[in-house]
Amino acid sequence: MNNVFEIRDLSGWFGDNQVLKNIHMDIAQYTVTSVMGPSGCGKSTFIRCLNRMHDMTPGFRTTGEILFDGVNINSEAIDPVTLRRKVGMVFQQPNPFPRMSVFENVAVGLRLNGKNWSRNGLAEVVEKSLGMAALWEEVKDKLDSPGVSLSGGQQQRLCIARALAVEPEVLLMDEPCSALDPVSTAKIEELIEVLREKYTIVVVTHNMQQAARISNNVAFFLLGELIEMDKSGKIFTNPSDKRTEEYITGRFG
């Protein structure tokens, strides 16, 4: 199986505060990798490094390498905007653009890519993207309504559709269900199961049950370190490191 990401000796700092320490791991194509660990352990910082979301954060810097399809994403040859089209991000809080309709929320990335889209061409991609996000049937009669008029779970799936519209290779999800009710959470998990066939997905989650349900592989972070990464079943039944076992059994975190 091909590796989409190969992370080599990645460390990260906010000013003088080191938040990632010598991370070394691979992320395989068409898999779901869950990144778990207690609050403040570096999970969100780590996945934001994968598409250079921290570029504009004052005082943030990294060392080491992040190879995406074999190319170091921090090299001068890489355009961060192009990288983020290939490595999309869905955030913890649903964030549809407030002044845009459902249709325009999905179409906005396509318009920004510079191609002159026809209305019919846009409509085709919007319908496809909403369908892939399991939202089309719920909103096909509300395309002109504001995106923020949808329920929380629908808004999160709208944001997933927006990310899918530009045809990324990878989808990063930072606690995508933490603000959602159990019914909406189940729909997002079902969606991840479908999307893993076409996309490589990296999910930050506090929810160990969720990680066990959706993941091929699990990476356990603690105090900025990658303690261990393995198949989901191995991590939850027979972890190699005592600290992983203590976290899973609720002794800390």
pLDDT per position in the chain (253 positions), as tens?
799 999 999 999 999 999 999 999 999 999 999 999 998 899 999 999 999 999 889 999 999 999 999 999 999 889 998 999 999 999 988 999 999 999 999 999 888 776 677 888 899 999 999 999 999 999 999 999 999 999 999 999 999 999 999 999 999 999 999 888 888 889 999 999 999 999 999 999 988 999 999 999 999 999 999 999 999 999 999 999 999 999 999 876 6
Q: Which residues have C-beta within 8 Å of that of residue 105, sequence separation ≥ 6?
A: 96, 97, 147, 158, 159, 161, 162
CA distance 42 to 109: 29
Query: What integer pLDDT is reported at residue 252 of this predicted model?
Result: 67
3-state helix, strand, coil in the chain (%, to 5): 40, 25, 35
- Quick check: pTM over 0.85? yes
Query: What integer pLDDT is reported at residue 218 of this predicted model?
Result: 97
Query: What integer pLDDT is reported at residue 253 of this predicted model?
Result: 60
Query: What integer pLDDT is reported at residue 251 of this predicted model?
Result: 77
DSSP state of 128: H
Residue 19, both tokens: 């938040």
Q: Which CATH number is associated with domain 3-248? A: 3.40.50.300
DSSP state of 150: S
CA distance 174 to 8: 22
- Sequence spans of domains, the chain: 3-248
Residue 174 phi, psi (nearest 5): -100, 100
